[in-house]
Amino acid sequence: MTSDDNRLITECREGSSAAFGALVARYQDRLFNTVLRLVDNAEDARDVVQEAFLHAYQSLHSFKGDSLFFTWLYRIAVNTAISMKRKQRPALRIQAGGDSQTGLDPLDPSETGRPGHSIEMAEEERKVHDALAKLSQEHRAVLVMKDMEGMKYEEMAEILGVPIGTIRSRLHRARLEIRDLLLQQEKVD
């Protein structure tokens, strides 16, 4: 896949927009899912991903190939998401129609005999989502990258442009903070 990315990048540099379209098609869903967790809004996530691809296209000449193309693109998207969130003022969002991700079917077919399982899972997911939204951008980014995306510390450090020690420190603080937020929610419920 890396050699295929390199071939497509070479074609892009030679003026092939179809080659860049292939890169977009390959990575847009994965990038969107990550960015959505960072910005907490599908519309904003689409904007960030679009801006990241535009920036990548315009900066393709500066891609040296020292890292994977996706790592380079991911870094652009994460930085774009963090910048966007910093620019936004905190606002209360009211979603009409409730959460569309509650799901009607349980994730595990063996749970079908237990009434209310999917509702309980949706409620737990909502609690984690709410706690995640309260974290700072730096803490949310490392938590999503490590615990949800399964990235390695080295990748995270490269993407965020900080030392591995900083990644570990932020991740530790983020986990403590989200744990405290979830415990507070538990006391309220």
| Structure confidence at residue 114 (pLDDT) | 58
Strands of the chain, DSSP E: none
- pLDDT recorded at residue 98: 46
In this structure, which topology does domain 115-188 adopt according to CATH?
Arc Repressor Mutant, subunit A (1.10.10)
- Calpha distance 166→171 (Å, rounded): 8
Would you give per-residue pLDDT tens digits along the chain (189 residues)?
Answer: 467 888 999 999 998 889 999 999 999 999 998 888 888 889 999 999 999 999 999 998 888 888 888 889 998 998 888 888 777 655 444 444 444 444 444 444 555 445 665 677 677 777 888 888 888 888 998 988 888 888 899 988 988 889 999 999 999 999 999 999 888 888 876
Q: pLDDT value at position 175?
A: 92
Domain-wise residue ranges, the chain: 2-87, 115-188
Q: What integer pLDDT is reported at residue 99 of this predicted model?
A: 47
The DSSP-derived string for the chain is: -HHHHHHHHHHHHTT-HHHHHHHHHHHHHHHHHHHHHHHS-HHHHHHHHHHHHHHHHHTGGG--SSS-HHHHHHHHHHHHHHHHHHHSPP-----TT--TTS-SS-SSGGGGGSTTHHHHHHHHHHHHHHHHHHS-HHHHHHHIIIIIT---HHHHHHHHTS-HHHHHHHHHHHHHHHHHHHHHHHHH-
Residue 105: phi and psi, rounded to 5, are: -105, 140
Fold of 2-87: Rna Polymerase Sigma Factor; Chain: A (1.10.1740)
Tell me the two tokens of residue 178.
């989200």
Q: What is the DSSP letter of 107?
A: S
